[in-house]
Amino acid sequence: MYRLRRISLIVRGAMMLISALILIFAMDGYIVLIHLLAITLALSGIGNIYYYVTMARHMVEGRMILYKGLIMLDFGIFSYAMSDIPRYYILLYLLGIHLFSGVVEILRAIEAKRYGATTWGLKLFHGIVNFVLVFVCVRFIRNLNTVTILYSGGLIYSGITQIATAMRKTKVVYIQ
């Protein structure tokens, strides 16, 4: 893993930890949660679009990065526009994102195990934690403060795993 990638993962993990603490200690954490989600999705989309314009357009299947960036930007704008509708719908939207993320992580873990990678266990555990977070949040959906705290716990877990991933040693394979 390159140094810039490690620094990026550490910064992303630190931002997740700071965001979780802001959500826990904010007076109305729900509104902060929606704005935080909208900003991160929009910035992710803009970053992918910038990557496409600068480099990925010359790559094979580079258009997929453009499409991914446009979809992420659209989800960011959509999330910001949803701040006026009832809170339960937005919470279901957030839980849907976590459910999808859990499915993707579990599928990535299965694929990594099939190829013999040693990091498949961490991916599987992360996917299971996303599933547990979704089901616990659905159980306590009537109390918005509890759901916000649970969501913050998920952010703290994701931030710690990002930092742990950055600190993990990677193997260097020399081809002779």
pLDDT by 10s per residue, the chain, length 176 = 688 888 989 998 998 898 888 888 877 767 777 788 788 889 999 999 999 999 888 888 888 889 989 998 998 888 788 777 766 777 777 788 778 888 888 998 999 889 888 878 888 888 898 888 888 878 877 777 777 777 788 788 888 988 988 888 776 666 76
pLDDT confidence of residue 174: 64
CB 125 within 8 A of CB 165: no
Q: What is the pLDDT of residue 46?
A: 95
Residue 41: exposed, middle, or buried by beta-carbon count in 10 A (0-12, 13-18, 19+)?
buried
Residue among 109, 103, 132, 104 at smallest CA distance from 122: 109
Q: Which one, of 56, 69, 36, lies nearest residue 152 by Cα?
A: 36
Measure the CA–CA gap between 118 and 168, rounded to whole angstroms.
12
Domains of the chain, by residue range, sit at: 3-167
pLDDT of residue 78: 84
Provide Rg for the chain, Cα atoms.
18
Whether the Cβ atoms of residue 66 and residue 48 lie closer than 8 Å to each other: yes
Predicted confidence at residue 1, as pLDDT, reads: 61
